[in-house]
Amino acid sequence: MDDDKPVLDQVTDAIGTAATATADTAKTVVKKVRKAARKAVKKVMPKKAAKKGKKAKKAAKKTARKAKKDRKVAKKAAKKSKKGKAKKSRR
């Protein structure tokens, strides 16, 4: 201990240093845990499986678009046939 400083100041400095060290240690631990978690996820779910998921999503979007397009075509065809019938009935 430093005899020139009052005890209260020395204790305050020691507590502050301990708090800083604790915060730094906590940050380091969090970084290491995150890194380990990322490695574990990569082992459990390889990239090929992820790509298949993306392909499946794209295929689902395509089928949804195609179904929407088919509905529009059917709707237009129905309107045309109604218009044609209406014109014939007027004559």
Residues 29-39 have pLDDT tens digits of 999 999 999 88
Residue 68 lies in a domain: yes
Q: Chain-wide mean pLDDT for the chain? A: 78
Q: What percent of the chain has pLDDT over 90?
A: 16
First to last CA, the chain: 112
- Entry pTM: 0.38
Compare 24 and 68 and report the one with higher pLDDT.
Answer: 24
Q: What is the pLDDT of residue 29?
A: 93
Residue 1 lies in a domain: no
Segment 51-65 shows an average pLDDT of 77
Which secondary structure element, helix H or strand E, spans residue 10, and what is its range? Answer: helix 7-44
Contact 1, 10 (CB under 8 A): yes
Task: For residue 2, give every residue at least 6 positions away whose Cβ sits within 8 Å of its Cβ, in sequence order, or none.
Answer: 10
CA–CA gap between residue 65 and residue 59 (Å, rounded): 10
Q: Which domain covers residue 42, as residue numbers?
A: 7-90
Q: How many domains does the chain have?
A: 1
Model pLDDT for residues 5-17, shown as the tens digit of each residue: 888 888 998 998 9
Residue 76 lies in a domain: yes
